[in-house]
Every structure is written in structure tokens, then in C-alpha cells.
């Protein structure tokens, strides 16, 4: 595992896992992209990695139904999570991916940071807020990415950004907020910089399992 800067362009697809038991070993560092269905998670991953079709995108919500794993280099990975909050799927199926999602978030020790993506026109729905609160309580750094920023004029864009920043009081430091567009690449330098920071932290820094049960010398 290197602590050198990550080359997002070198991302390559590793696997689609139906649940956490099918993921690569829980080692190294992962940054996961989460958010409502259709928020633009897969598109943002493609923009970040400068690859048009690394992650599969779709006009129809519910495209990403499994935990998709992309490796960057030795031990560092990006994760595309299934979207939540999409009503039009059979209940049994929805239950299955929501379970995979919550299990991933709760159990994956190598998860270093969570990117929560929201359509800038429909931000901070109940499930988004729940997810952010949970992550903050779990001491997981969060980056809120307001996607499809190209859909709003500059004034409305800035107003929404400020509104969201103000809606996250007390989280300063743990939760950052940026606007982003996969269409015109606005916000890409911010996304790159913040993820570089997360990936540069040493692995296992606060991983209790690495010290638990170890012999103290
Ligand atoms: N205008 C605009 N459209 C976008 C942007 N990002 C994504 N989209 C569109 O939004 C739709 C959904 O994008 P995806 O990236 O597939 O969304 P997702 O969050 O991965 O969706 P699920 O996999 O269903 O959870 C597609 O039609 C994209 O082309 C953006 O920045 N600007
Ligand atoms: Mg997707």
C-alpha cells in the first residue's frame, strides 16, 4: 500500500458483488459513492476516472443493483453502491440491495470516506439525511456532492450550496459540501482533492481490529 497520490484514471473494474461476502478482502482503503437512485453516482465515477463507461449509467433509476468495485492501485478502491429510495422495484429486490448497502456501510472496515451524491434540484431527502447522520456518528468523513449543477443557474446553484451547508450545523470538518457536474466537469478539482486527502491517510489508522487482541510489547 502506497501513500502516494492516487491516479483516478487507472481505475479498473474488479467485480460486482451482491453482498459483502463477495467483496475483495477487507484491507486497504475504500471510498464509496452512495445516494438516491439516479443521483448521478455512476456518472460521477466515470467523470472522476475520465472513463466514459467504467460504471454503467442509465436514465432509468435503479441501474446499479450491486456493489461495484473499481481498483485504483494496490489496496485502494472506489465503490459504486446501489441507489436507495427508488420506489418502482419489487419489494423483495429492494430489500436485497438495501440490505447489501447497509451491511456494506456498517461492516466494511476499510471504508475510509463516504461520498453522498444528491441531485442539486432534490437535495437532502430523508434517506440522505439518515445516511449522513449515521456516517457522522460513525466518525466517517462525508463529502456531499450536489450533482447535475449544470441544471441550475449560478445564483440558484450558490443558494442551494449555502442552504445545504447551513443545514449541516455542527458537522463542520466532518462533512464537506461541493457542487458538481458530470456534464461540464465543474467541481471535479474539488472532488479529486478531497478524495486524494482521504486516500492519503494511512490504512488502519483508527481500525480497532488491528489493535484488538494484539500483544503489547
Ligand atoms: N445534466 C446532467 N445529467 C447528469 C449528470 N450526472 C448524471 N446525469 C444523468 O442522470 C441519470 C442518472 O445517472 P447515473 O450516473 O446512472 O445515476 P446513479 O446514481 O448511478 O443511478 P443508480 O445506479 O440507478 O442508482 C443519467 O441519465 C445521467 O446521464 C450531470 O452532472 N448533469
Ligand atoms: Mg449507478
Looking at residue 212, its pLDDT comes to: 40
Written as tens digits, the pLDDT of the chain (217 aa) is 556 899 999 999 999 998 899 999 999 999 999 999 899 999 999 999 999 999 988 887 766 778 999 999 989 999 999 888 876 666 676 677 778 888 999 999 999 999 999 999 999 998 899 899 889 888 899 999 999 999 999 999 999 999 999 888 666 567 999 999 999 999 999 999 999 999 997 765 544 444 443 433 3
Domain range summary for the chain, segments of one domain joined by +: 8-202
Our answer on whether the CB atom of 112 is closer than 6 Å to any ligand 1 atom is no
- End-to-end Cα, the chain, rounded Å: 25
How far apart are the CA of 111 and the centre of ligand 1, in A?
A: 23
Looking at residue 2, its pLDDT comes to: 55
Looking at residue 215, its pLDDT comes to: 39
Looking at residue 100, its pLDDT comes to: 84
Fold of 8-202: Rossmann fold (3.40.50)
Residue 81 CA: distances (Å) to CA of 127, 140, 158: 14, 16, 28
For residues 128 and 94, give the distance between their C-alpha atoms in angstroms, rounded to a whole number: 17
Among 35, 40, 66, which residue has the most ligand 1 atoms within 8 Å of its CB, making it the best to mutate? 40
- Rounded to 5°, angle at Cα 47 from 108 and 33: 20
Residue 178 main-chain phi, psi, to 5 deg: -135, 160
For residues 11 and 124, give the distance between their C-alpha atoms in angstroms, rounded to a whole number: 29
Residues around ligand 2, an ion, CB closer than 5 A: 41-42, 63-64
**pTM for the structure as a whole:** 0.90
E strand or H helix at 157, and its extent? helix 154-166
Other residues' Cβ atoms within 10 Å of the Cβ of residue 6: 20
Q: Which grid cell is 82?
A: 446501489
Amino acid at each position: 500500500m502506497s501513500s502516494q497520490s492516487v491516479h483516478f484514471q487507472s481505475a479498473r473494474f474488479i467485480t460486482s458483488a451482491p453482498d459483502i461476502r463477495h467483496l475483495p478482502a477487507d484491507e486497504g482503503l475504500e471510498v464509496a459513492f452512495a445516494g438516491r437512485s439516479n443521483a448521478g453516482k455512476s456518472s460521477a465515477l466515470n467523470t472522476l476516472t475520465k472513463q466514459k463507461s467504467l460504471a454503467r449509467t442509465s436514465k432509468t433509476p435503479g441501474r446499479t443493483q450491486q456493489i461495484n468495485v473499481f481498483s485504483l492501485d494496490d489496496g485502494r478502491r472506489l465503490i459504486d453502491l446501489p441507489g436507495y429510495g427508488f420506489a418502482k422495484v419489487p419489494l423483495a429486490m429492494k430489500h436485497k440491495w438495501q440490505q447489501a448497502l447497509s451491511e456494506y456501510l456498517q461492516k466494511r472496515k476499510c471504508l475510509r470516506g463516504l461520498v453522498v451524491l444528491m441531485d442539486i434540484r432534490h437535495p437532502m431527502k430523508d434517506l440522505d439525511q439518515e445516511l449522513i447522520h449515521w456516517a457522522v456518528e460513525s466518525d466517517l468523513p462525508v463529502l456531499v456532492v450536489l450533482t447535475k449543477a449544470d441544471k441550475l443557474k449560478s445564483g440558484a446553484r450558490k443558494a442551494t450550496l449555502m442552504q445545504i451547508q447551513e443545514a449541516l450545523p455542527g458537522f463542520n470538518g466532518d462533512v464537506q459540501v461541493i457542487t458538481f457536474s458530470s456534464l461540464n466537469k465543474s467541481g471535479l478539482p474539488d472532488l479529486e482533492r478531497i478524495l486524494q486527502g482521504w486516500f492519503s491517510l494511512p490504512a488502519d489508522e483508527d481500525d480497532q481490529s488491528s489493535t484488538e487482541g494484539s500483544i503489547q510489547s
